Structure 1
Amino acid sequence: MNRRTLIGYLVLAFCLLPAWAVKSATTQSRISWTGAILFFAFIVIVGSLVRNATSPESLPGPDFRRYQPFFMLAVGLSFLAAELLAIAFTYAESGVGLAGRAGVVISQIGSTHIPVVSKYATAMEPPLSPTSLFRVQSIVTVFMIAGLLTSIAYILLYWKMSVSERLQLYQWGRQKRPSNALVFGSFTFALLMALAAIFGGSEFGEPTPKFCLVQAVCYARGDDLLVFAAALAKVVAVFGFPLGAFALYDANRVLPDSNSANL
């Protein structure tokens, strides 16, 4: 078994862990989480096989090869720590024991710096119980911190790469130059999604079962896995979409226009 395969198995196990480690979740939620992770793993494997068949084996650029392992390590450790802490918070009581005290500190950080986290305590009708409030504030905050650390690692990786190396990377991935309209639309969408996730948007209105993951009045009263999924959805909205929009902007700026390249 080579190193990449071993890492893949470890990442899969890490992603499956919450399904069976959290304190409170229905059997249906545990099975749904497992099924979703396996489905995404299948998509990643297929995508990896396609890329290996159509792209050169070696990664482009010395700086990218040098710093990519550190980037992946930062991402892995950030979310591993967040996951283990979040699992511990599902068993902890606010202010009781090491996990309980850590959860209080993290919840206070979230309440101070993330508007939606503070709203869990002020905008819920009827108000959350102390146990539910501690759980949702601590879990959402710890995953948001992991998203922030990952974003910083991504920016540092980008900063270490030259323009020519980024061009090589985009060409290695067979990426075409995105249009100006696509870049503008992606930035607008990412900004709106990030602001809605940070400030709560319409999360505190009347609940709609079909959109439970983006409605605090639904997921905050749900089981532990539902809170996990909602927290990860916020990470994608606040950090994933803006980083994706930035990547499109950089590709638009670095890659040559297809029409001019053919001249």
Structure 2
Amino acid sequence: MSEYKGAIVTGSSRGIGSVTAQLLAEQGIGVVINYRAKAPRANKIVAAIEEKGGKAVAVGADLTTVEGPQALVDAAIENFGSLDVLVLNASGGMETTLGENYALRLNRDAQVAMLQAALPKLSEGGRIVFVTSHQAHFIHEVSTMDAYDAVAKSKRAGEDALREFIPQLAEKGIKFVVVSGDMIEGTITATLLNRVEPGAIEARREAAGKLYSVEEFGAEVAKMVFADVESGHTELVGGAEDFLKQAGK
């Protein structure tokens, strides 16, 4: 079982976040399940964790608001007595109803705000994991689909902004790790991109050889919570060879 007691997984009422949260709970970590609007879905994840003897609490919080990140931190401390792990999984930007700058507000500004809210309470020796995509991580060297370009650039801006905290995190022995994956089968982003550009998923599957499922990628994210790696490490999960080649690395 893990020495960590409490974790926040943003955007964890479904998909990769929910898989990650449930795997952390299996390691004995109390998990804050974060949702923006769908409380029943989040409560279902909490129930699934508790049925297996784990600990979890569902907290509705919009990370783009002033009070959202702090609400998650408070919930971790109140329910589990400590905050040791922060998994920055929530992302978006392909929505058309949430304002012109929503991608940047969520994928950069809200990520920084979440880290800043968590940092005073994060335990020494804790871990922060940022979840991204190869399309975003390599966006400065490898172009992506037009429909995803703004989102990819905003996620890379978020990654860059978070990396600037590494020296400050090191003062508390907190490691920062990035997990980058290819298109993930079954995610909303992949479905939307395939709708905008039919054949996009199949093209990535051919280039990568295999696309991970939500369950498989969630397991890789959870694994990096405990992995013995240097702070600032980027874990490239599946199908990165063609990105590395195009990026000249």
Q: Is the TM value for this pair above 0.5?
A: no
**Bigger strand fraction:** 2
Higher RCO, 1 vs 2 (CA within 8 Å, ≥6 residues apart): 1
- Which entry has the higher C-alpha Rg, 1 or 2? 1
TM-score, normalisation: structure 2: 0.30
**Bigger helix fraction:** 1
